[in-house]
Amino acid sequence: MALLTKKDIKSFFTITLPTLLLMLVIVELALYWLAPVEDPFARYKKKNLSNSQYIESQFKPNAEFTFEIESGLPNMDSSATFTTNNFGYRGDSLIYPKPLSEFRVFIIGGSTTENLFIDDSKGFERQLQGVLQDSLPNRTVRVFNAGKSGDATPDHISMLVHRIQHLNPDLVILFAGINDLNRLIGNYDYLHFPVENVEESGSMIQSIKFFLSNFQIIRRLINVINPEKGDARTSIFLKTNYAAKVKEVEALPLVETLPSVDYGIYERNIRSFVGAAKSNRVPVLLMTQTHTWDSKDAYLNQNHWMVGIGNQRYPSEKLAEELGKLNQITIQVAEEEGVFLLDLEKSIPKTTDYFYDDCHFNLGGVQEAAKVIGNYITLKLN
């Protein structure tokens, strides 16, 4: 075996090593421009600062996602495309200022409004728009969906006040309840804006990892060697994971007694939402929250995952009772404030023809809900 000569060593440092470094730079630049990967440590790099944005939760304008729907979900397509318009809502492009001939509707709520895994062509807003257009042939009807997974009444108020009222809606629809129930039982602080607490100082190894994760090649190696695994219940993936959600929740300890909850904050928030709309002379339609926690359907009863709150699991029938209290508050506020009310919870059968889990509509549910809501609005307009 021949020993390395001075010439070989010189050749390595003057030719081989620079060539390798140049190739790495070219590959890094190509990956950065053509196929960038997000920083796997991005959420750990945030400083200990208060989140000061007005809207805690919203979609970016002109966003687009394509989801693969796992097999076994009743009455669902195998894939769905979700897009937002130029203002960040589901629906047609929004024209501002609003044309005089347009009848503009916004639906505000959480994931039951959003319908993330229903394709644009069959979405809540699209089908409701069609029903209303048939009843208002002399107007151009536009329905925009401002729903977002996890949003509750604080988010709904912010959405209305900061992002919708200036767009001159002719009607706003609020479809809320289940996310507030989750927050209330989970002891969420409604009176203070959430703050992310992240340690500012770290070890030398952490600093090196954070520095290296700025490079696309290293990010790919990290994702292969040590991928970040999101929580099944709170994370949203490009392929649905409802089977994993159910499995994760079934492993939680069952607690028969729900914590004592003061629903006064929910009532105040609903009244605040209505008051903000009324102060701008915007008609409001409040809807009760649909759910399947008291369903007789065997499939639905075996596939409840939203009964898991925090590190505990609660009986679905008891959660149904508590959600019923929130729905009753919605009904009471609508009556006292003199706004439109639709008891949607009583209008949609709790079967797999219309739902695929605790509260989310499938294709049949979206179609039926759009028809029920559209017919109600038509009746009130006439």
Phi, psi of 262 (to 5 degrees): -95, 110
The answer to whether the beta carbons of residues 293 and 323 sit under 8 Å apart is yes
Q: CA dihedral defined by 210, 216, 217, 219, rounded to 10 degrees? A: 50
Question: Which sign does the torsion angle of CA 226, 46, 48, 52 carry?
Answer: negative
Going from the C-alpha of 331 to that of each of 83, 112, 170, 179, 341, the distances in angstroms are: 33, 19, 22, 17, 7
Task: Retrieve residue 38's tokens.
Answer: 């997000």
Task: Retrieve residue 35's tokens.
Answer: 């196929």
pLDDT in tens, the chain (382 residues): 556 787 777 787 888 888 888 898 898 898 888 888 778 777 666 654 444 455 667 889 999 999 999 999 999 999 999 999 999 999 999 999 999 999 999 999 999 999 999 999 999 999 999 999 999 999 999 999 999 999 999 999 999 999 999 999 999 999 999 999 999 999 888 887 665 554 445 578 778 878 888 888 887 887 777 665 555 565 566 889 999 999 999 999 999 999 999 999 999 999 999 999 999 999 999 999 999 999 999 999 999 999 999 999 999 999 999 999 999 999 999 999 999 999 999 999 999 999 999 999 999 999 999 999 999 999 998 8
Going from the C-alpha of 99 to that of each of 126, 164, 174, the distances in angstroms are: 19, 16, 24
